[in-house]
Amino acid sequence: MKKAYFSKRIWKKEINAFTLVEIALLSELFNRAKRFVFQTLVRQKRWERELHKESIHLVVKKEFGVKNYVANSIVRESQALLKAQSELNKLYIKQTDEKIKK
């Protein structure tokens, strides 16, 4: 296991305003793209068909103008969220069945 012995904390008040605006815009773009991918994945699963001719990774790159690394992060986070929601839904169904039996 890797350990971090030193850490440099960055305080918001120490960063210039332009950098803060850029960070906020990037965060907003990332979250919009993640929501777009999540909704696309949900619709594809629900309708059992592909919504785009290209892979979702390429769609994100073109639609939001991000590089490979960011697009890959967005797609992987969205896929993980969808998988987590599916597992959670199975758990809810199991708990509801147990409550009904009681």
Residue-wise pLDDT tens for the chain (102 aa)?
677 677 788 888 888 999 999 999 999 999 999 999 999 999 999 998 888 889 999 999 999 999 999 999 999 999 999 999 999 999 999 999 999 998
| pLDDT score recorded for residue 19 | 92
pLDDT value of position 11: 84
Identify the pLDDT of residue 73: 95
Separation CA 8–CA 12 (nearest Å):
13
Note the pLDDT of residue 10: 82
How much is the pLDDT for 77?
A: 96
pLDDT for position 4: 67
SS3 annotation, 42-84: HHHHHHCCCCCCCCHHHHHHHHHCCCHHHHHHHHHHHHHHHHH
